[in-house]
Amino acid sequence: MKDNYTILIVDDEESVRKLLMAVLKREGYHVESAIDGQDALEKYNTVRPHVVLMDIRMPTMNGIATFTEMKKKHSDVTVILMTAFAAVETAVAAIKLGAFDYLIKPFDIDEVTLLVNRAVQIQRMEKEITVLHRELNDSYRSDKVLTNSKKVEKLYQVIDKVAKSNASVLIVGESGTGKELIANAIHYNSPRCKGPFIKINCSALPEGLLESELFGHEKGAFTGAVMRRSGRFEQADKGTLFLDEIGEISTKLQVKLLRVLQEREFERVGGNETVKVDVRIITATNRNLEQMVQNGQFRQDLYYRMNVICLNSIPLRERKEDIRLLADHFLQKFSGENDRGIVSFDNDAIAKLEEYNWPGNVRELANVIERAVIMSTGSMIFTEDLPDALRKNSMIGEIKPEKNNPLGYTLKEMIKEQECKLIKQALLSNRGNKMKTAKELGISRRTLIYKTQEYEIE
């Protein structure tokens, strides 16, 4: 892995160059060398090293001047300077200009390798983050959305247009319909995509804590405030702040939030300093804010400030054509997470999924498929693996004779009956120890808990 990284050694002393080259080659790096600043600039343009290890005191062009020239052409250059103790102040000044770090001569070899390894590791991490960021942005593109629904396709076409603006967005819809996914799509397709994306659920905290969480607080603002703390608005500066369940905030916080939307400024709790921020606000709710405005529960001026653009998330019952698609997606996801080899659904199971009204929407569907994956004993999800609400009058484990079936039960039902007996015996022999029982049965403890609930095993 290290041989993919090139280190350039720049020093006018041959003995130093040879020593450092030998050490870093032993570490596995590809190493080049230069005898002075001018030579270093030429080598840098030719080999484009990942890290430059360069002496400050050199004839013709010193290390600081060389670093400055490199920085002009390549802003991402990583330079570690080498200097005698007397020139430490010069090295520190260079770090302020963008140098990575410095070494004091005579240096310890372990210190050299540690510093170079750290510089390379940081570069590798930055590269991985860039790739992940690009993949994340790409995953929220409208043409990457998992859907067969014309309604959803149309919604994401609107999202593409909205994302390019700085307008405040209100997302309304039932729980579980993917309001947070819409907020993600807006941020990651916007000009702010490289900035922070901060999320907070307004219903998860009481009023006092929520105010401090949003706006921060000064030291001594309340009991336990031992130091100044920045809030979510400051953390989201130059990015996006997503306020979920906005319909739950108090009228006091509504006033403070209105000011931020209007003026882009606020004071921390217990403070007088005005903090200015550049933040895009996205809000979401499953409540009827218009009705709340009429009832005096929500400020009309705040509602209009938030509702520059209003997007409606689509309930699953209005996109039935997506049920099979989403079910297959969740099956692959949860089958992989639980080390199961389940590959498909029985036709009757799919029919039950498509007939159901899904009051909990996509979130409920995901929960149902995860449960079915854990409950299933074979390579296919059957109707018996689904919850009662979907199976209606068909109870789990209930054996009903079928027409033209002389045995009176199916293979699936027989397997379940034997599985129940086996779990009971294993729990009994292990005196109820679930961890030991799960290990003995070759399943996870989580799967065992689900199955004991399914078969009502105490």
For 19-33, 75-89, 168-182, which range has the lowest pLDDT when averaged over its residues? 75-89
| Of 457, 323, 455, nearest in space to 395 by CA | 455
Per-residue pLDDT at 229 exceeds 70? yes
Q: What is the pLDDT of residue 86?
A: 59
- CA gyration radius, the chain: 31
- Angle, CA of 428, 432 and 438, to the nearest 5°: 95
378-415 burial code (b ≥16 CB/10 A, e <16): eeebbbbbbeeebbeeeebeeeeeeeeeeeeebebbee
Give one DSSP letter per residue of 343-399, joined into a string.
Answer: -EE-HHHHHHHHHS--TTHHHHHHHHHHHHHHH--SSEE-GGGS-HHHHTT--TT--
| Tokens of residue 262, six digits | 């209007």
Q: What is the pLDDT of residue 394?
A: 37
283-310 burial code (b ≥16 CB/10 A, e <16): bbbbeebeebbeeeebbeebbebbeebe
22 vs 96, residue with greater confidence: 22
Query: Which of the listed ranges 169-183, 408-422, 428-442 does the model predict with the highest average pLDDT?
Result: 169-183
Q: For CATH 1.10.8.60, list the domain ranges present in the chain.
A: 316-393
Q: What is the pLDDT of residue 144?
A: 55
416: DSSP letter: H
- Residue 156 CB coordination number (10 Å): 19
Q: For CATH 3.40.50.2300, list the domain ranges present in the chain.
A: 2-133
Which residues on adjacent β-strands are paired with residue 30? 6
Q: For CATH 1.10.10.60, list the domain ranges present in the chain.
A: 397-458
For 19-28, 322-331, 417-426, which range has the lowest pLDDT when averaged over its residues? 417-426
Q: Can you say whether the dihedral through the CA atoms of 25, 30, 36, 37 is positive or negative? A: negative
- Interval 186-195 mean pLDDT: 91
Q: Which stretch of DSSP H or E encloses residue 310?
A: strand 309-312
| Mean of pLDDT over the chain | 85
CATH of domain 316-393: 1.10.8.60
| Of 146, 155, 144, 142, nearest in space to 311 by CA | 155
Which pairs count as long-range contacts for 113-121, CB under 8 Å and 24+ apart, including other chains?
113/23, 113/24, 113/27, 115/80, 116/7, 116/24, 116/27, 116/29, 116/51, 116/53, 116/80, 117/27, 119/50, 119/51, 119/78, 119/80, 120/2, 120/5, 120/29, 120/50, 120/51
| Tokens of residue 99, six digits | 């140098």
Interval 121-166: pLDDT, tens = 888 877 765 555 554 455 455 555 678 889 998 999 999 999 999 9
| Tokens of residue 61, six digits | 């062009």
Portion of the chain with pLDDT greater than 70, in percent? 90
Q: Which stretch of DSSP H or E encloses residue 266?
A: strand 265-267
203-212 burial code (b ≥16 CB/10 A, e <16): eebeeeebbb
CATH 1.10.10.60 fits 397-458, yes or no: yes
Q: For CATH 3.40.50.300, list the domain ranges present in the chain.
A: 140-314
Per-residue pLDDT at 405 exceeds 70? no
The pLDDT confidence band at residue 292, using thresholds 50, 70 and 90, is very high
Q: Can you say whether the dihedral through the CA atoms of 174, 180, 183, 184 is positive or negative? A: negative
φ and ψ at residue 146, rounded to 5 degrees: -80, 100
- Residue 15 CB coordination number (10 Å): 8
Please state, in angstroms and rounded to a whole number, the distance separating the CA atoms of residues 428 and 426: 5
φ and ψ at residue 229, rounded to 5 degrees: -135, 130
Per-residue pLDDT at 413 exceeds 80? no
Portion of the chain with pLDDT greater than 90, in percent? 41
For 45-59, 215-229, 289-303, 390-404, which range has the lowest pLDDT when averaged over its residues? 390-404
Interval 305-323: pLDDT, tens = 999 999 999 999 999 999 9
Q: Which of the following CATH numbers is that of domain 140-314: 3.40.50.300, 2.130.10.10, 3.40.50.2300, 3.40.50.80?
A: 3.40.50.300
CA 230 from chain center: how many Å? 21
Per-residue pLDDT at 75 exceeds 70? yes
CATH 3.10.20.440 fits 2-133, yes or no: no
